[in-house]
Structure 1
Amino acid sequence: MPLALSILDLATIAPGQSARESFGNSVILAQAAERSGYRRVWYAEHHNMRSIASSATSVLIAHIANHTSTIRLGAGGIMLPNHSPLVIAEQFGTLETLHPGRIDLGLGRAPGSDQKTMYALRRDPASADSFPQDVLELQGFLNGNTRVPGVDAVPRAENGVPLYILGSSLFGAQLAAHLGLPYAFASHFAPDALHRAVDVYRETFQPSEQLAEPYVMAGINVFAAEDRDAAEAQKTIAYRSRARAMIARGPSTPNYTDAEIDAFLASPNGSHLMAMTKYTAVGTPAEVDAYLADFAASIRADELITAHYATEIDDRIRSVELTGRTLGATHEPVAG
């Protein structure tokens, strides 16, 4: 079975760019992914981050779905503790009803924000503790077996919406295994527990109505170009921009030079940012192909979620096209 390739798109707002331009780029990227044979494109819920425009995740999915025709689209993921399960079931039931057979729902328990933003979201800091129960409640709304007597999600998609558990620790792996759901590990920014989490998931997996066998997905960063030097340059620019965004504290944040950012990333204080991007495929199509194949084999991944972070949209689209071509991405039936 060929390794499936998919994409994570954060709808990044580049310096000097508007959110509207970012959404236009997301449409172009999804169309390129569809042409190139990727299985799905996912969008992640983040709040109060000036460089990421995917906060209203379900709205963005609807927009992209209206500009594509076959590729699967979904959340990678919805941070369920920020929402009531009923509201998410209604949103994704609506999406699947409008675009049957194309909608995924990945779920995470992280806030996707800071403490002040949690307050603005009216989120109880303890709400993450009920994540397993909330997943089951949401699943009941989606499949017509409500766990809240007298309450149903309307509309409910005829064939349901497949669920995926996202995580970067053993907790998510254990929950996905217990519920018999596909497991997606966020190794594109939190690589440390990848191998142990995947082992735990496979060892403790219990079959479910959605999934008979374990299904492992893993995130990985990609910079593909015809020339290795060009790919390396794209990576350098993108990771400098990432560092600036992560250390920004508002309009008064200094405009750090490239040299200052490089010095920070090389320092002990900045080393954790570099460690976050441990799993990065960079180079020519052949080099990226080899890296992705080795990475997938190391965890027996069924699917890779590729994050293409080149700052310029033309470079990002080319990276998507080259990566899809070299590894032979496919539109095979979705797990479960």
Structure 2
Amino acid sequence: MIYVIDPASIDENIDLIYEKDDIRLCTIQRAVPQQKLGFCVYYHRKEHFHYIEFYNNWELSLAYQAGIKNFDRIIELNGINIEKDTPYELRNRFNIDQNLPVHMLVCSPATYIHYKSTGKLLHSHLRTVHHLRPVYAISRSKFIPPQQLICDVFSNKFPSLRHVHLGRIDYATYHSWTTSPSLQFVSIFSCKSMSILAILTSCPNLHHLQVHIFPSDNHVFTSSTPLNHPLRRLIVWSNYTELYFNDIDRFLAYTPNVEYLYLQTVYRTPFIHLAEGLINRLHHLFRFDCYIREMLTRDSRIGNLASIHKMHSCFCGIQCKEENDKCRIFST
């Protein structure tokens, strides 16, 4: 991300005539902390607002895929209103916790002018906010690493390696792994039967693990052996692939020290039961982010937002973004 002060804040393609609210909550998860989001952040010193402009190959950027548009005004970053931030302060916010999902509340220039001229506040709890489906950086990855490379990575053949992003893996090569104590951050796009437990066993000092579960991966867990792993941050991303409670619970049984959890999946049992399972397993959990599509009809649903918020402080940021006869979407 590049920060510039006082360039042009619109171009000839921007319509400043207000017709209806165009406010979007966009979520981006990088594959690795250093990955670029694909835009510059600008600051208008006269009107005092921050806004976005894409640079080269903007249609391929994570930000564009997440729903961000050219010249959008930035309102919130990770749940914090940044309208009064200086350029330096906002740049620091983008640089903090780069391994966590980026939540950005943005709006069109016309919407921004409308709200400011009428004295109304822009925030993420407005009913007109569009909560867009989160974008995962490797959701379109087709790269399959060589089998020997996978074995080398998880067998300490690169003793100085700290962060690794392996894209898609088609073979469960864990039987030939030893240990890789240097690895602290692992991002993996798992297809077929990649063993998550094997990653944890091979990486005893792993601090952050993010896994995108591919639709063909129906049996991620290959062992029932307990593992009290020191992992602190866990991101499980399955898009439209359903994860079952037993799988999630078994996974968390290996990682009881997790403090931050992001979960995105399709879920066909009551979300409130999942929430109960999380707090029973993760006694150190202080932040929970999610995008969960609860596939239950109205008559089959249990609990509401108020009851979920009362369960644990880390659930207070959960909202019901969409509700119809077929499903509810719970998201932060």
TM norm structure 1: 0.30
TM norm structure 2: 0.31
Higher strand fraction (1 or 2): 2
Higher relative contact order (CA 8 A, sep 6+): 1
| Larger radius of gyration between Structure 1 and Structure 2 | 2
